[in-house]
Chain A
Amino acid sequence: MKKSKKIFWLFLAPSGISFLLVVIIPMFLGIYYSFTDWNGISEKINFVGFTNYIKIFTKDPGFRDAFIFTVKYVVVEVIIVNVAGFLLALLVTKKLRVSNFLKSTFFLPNLVGGLLLGFIWQFIFTKGFESIADNLGWAFFDGWLSTPQTGFWGLIIVCSWQSIGYMMLIYVAGLQSIPQDVWEAGSIDGATGFKKFRYITLPLIVPAITIGIFMNISGAFKVFDQNLALTNGGPHNSTQMLTLNLYNTAYTYNELGVAQAKAIIFLVIVGIITFTQLYFTKKKEVEM
Chain B
Amino acid sequence: MKKNYGFKMFTVIALVMAMLVSIVGCSSSQNDTKKDDKENVSNEQPKDSNKKSDVTIELFQFKLEIAKALDEAVAEYMEENPNVKINVQSIGEGYSVQLKAKMQSGKEPTIFNVGGPSDVNDWSYKLEDLSDQPWVQHAAVGTLGGVTIDDKVYGLPYSVEGYGFVYNKAMFEAADVDVSAIKDFATLEAAVKELDGKIKSGELKEQFPDLEAVFELPAKETWLTGQHTTNIALSPELGSALNAFNAKKIDYKYSDQLKKIVDLQANYSSDADNKQKLCAVDNTTSVENGIAIGRVAMVQQGNWIYPSVNNVDQEIAQQLDILPIPLEGVIEDSIPIGVPMYWTVNVDASDEQKKAAKDFLNWLYQSEKGKEIIVNEFFFIPPFTNYEGLEAKDCLSRAVQRYTNEEKTMPWVFMGYPSGWCMDIMGTSIQKYLAGVQDWDEAIEYCKEQWEELAKDNAEN
Contacts and interface: CB of A to CB of B under 8 A. Distances in A.
Interface of A: 3, 7, 10-11, 13-14, 17-18, 37, 39-44, 59, 126, 142-147, 234-237, 248, 251-255
Contact of A252 (B13, B23, B423): B423
Interface residues of B, number: 39
B435 interface: yes
Give the interface SS of chain B, mostly helix, strand, loop or mixed.
helix
Given A41-B103, A248-B424, A255 B23 contact: no
Contacts of A59: 453
A251 B424 contact: no
Contacts of A144: 280
B116 to A, nearest CB: 14
Contacts of A234: 220, 222, 279-280, 428, 431
Nearest to A10: B16
A13 B21 CA distance: 12
A37 B424 contact: no
B19 A252 contact: no
B293 to A, nearest CB: 13
A126 B19 CA distance: 51
Given A41-B103, A234-B431, A235-B435, A146 B279 contact: yes
A13 B19 CA distance: 9
B276 A235 contact: yes
B391 interface: no
A146 B19 contact: no
B432 A11 contact: no
13 contacts: A13-B19, A37-B460, A37-B461, A40-B104, A59-B453, A142-B274, A145-B280, A146-B280, A147-B279, A234-B431, A235-B276, A236-B431, A251-B96
Contacts of B19: 13-14
Contacts of B461: 37, 39, 42, 44, 254
Contact of B454 (A13, A145, A253): A253
Contact of B277 (A13, A146, A253, A254): A146
A13 B420 CA distance: 44
Contacts of A44: 461
Interface string B64-97: 0000000000000000000000000000000011
Contacts of A235: 220, 276, 279-280, 428, 431, 435
Interface in B2-40: 9, 12-13, 16, 19-20, 23
B100 to A, nearest CB: 5
Contacts, number: 91
Contacts of B285: 126
Nearest to A43: B125
Contacts of B96: 251
B125 A42 contact: yes
Given A236-B279, A252-B424, 16 more contacts: A10-B12, A13-B20, A17-B23, A39-B461, A42-B125, A42-B461, A44-B461, A235-B276, A235-B280, A237-B424, A237-B428, A251-B100, A252-B419, A253-B424, A253-B454, A254-B122
B280 A236 contact: no
A13 B20 CA distance: 8
B280 A248 contact: no
Contacts of A253: 419-420, 424, 454, 457
Nearest to B104: A40
B429 interface: yes
Contacts of A40: 100, 104
A235 B433 CA distance: 11
Contacts of B103: 41
A249 to B, nearest CB: 9
B29 to A, nearest CB: 15
Given A251-B100, A253-B424, A14 B23 contact: yes
Contacts of A145: 280
A237 B438 CA distance: 14
Nearest to A144: B280
Given A39-B461, A252-B423, A147 B276 contact: yes
A13 B16 contact: yes
B174 interface: no
A147 B16 contact: no
Interface string B187-224: 00000000000000000000000000000000010100
A143 B280 contact: yes
Contacts of A146: 276-280, 435
A42 B122 contact: yes
Nearest to B124: A42
Nearest to B429: A236
A236 B122 contact: no
Contacts of A143: 274, 276-277, 280
Contacts of B428: 234-237
Contacts of B13: 10
Interface in B389-430: 419-420, 423-424, 428-429
Given A236-B431, A252-B420, A126 B280 contact: yes
Nearest to B428: A236
Q: Which 5 A-B pairs have the closest CB atoms?
A: A235-B279, A146-B280, A236-B431, A253-B420, A236-B428
